[in-house]
Amino acid sequence: LVAELPLKQAAALAAKITGVKKNLLYQYGLDQQKD
């Protein structure tokens, strides 16, 4: 999702789909960008 959407939107959409907290997904996305 991050390839097509800004991280904030991707995290929100993934949270809606999976039920995982948005903040957790957002932080994961930030961590992945650092690598």
Is the pLDDT reported for residue 35 higher than 80? no
Cα angle value 13/27/22 (rounded, 5°): 30
Q: How far apart are CA 17 and CA 20, in angstroms?
A: 8
* Cβ atoms of 10 and 29 closer than 8 Å: yes
Q: Which pLDDT belongs to residue 10? A: 97
Q: In the block, which residue shows the tokens 């789909």? A: 17
- The residues spanned by each domain of the chain are 1-35
DSSP state string for 1-35:
-TTTS-HHHHHHHHHHHH---HHHHHHHHHHHHH-
Q: How far apart are CA 9 and CA 19, in angstroms?
A: 15
pLDDT tens digit sequence for 2-33: 999 999 999 999 999 999 999 999 999 999 99
Q: Which pLDDT belongs to residue 27? A: 98
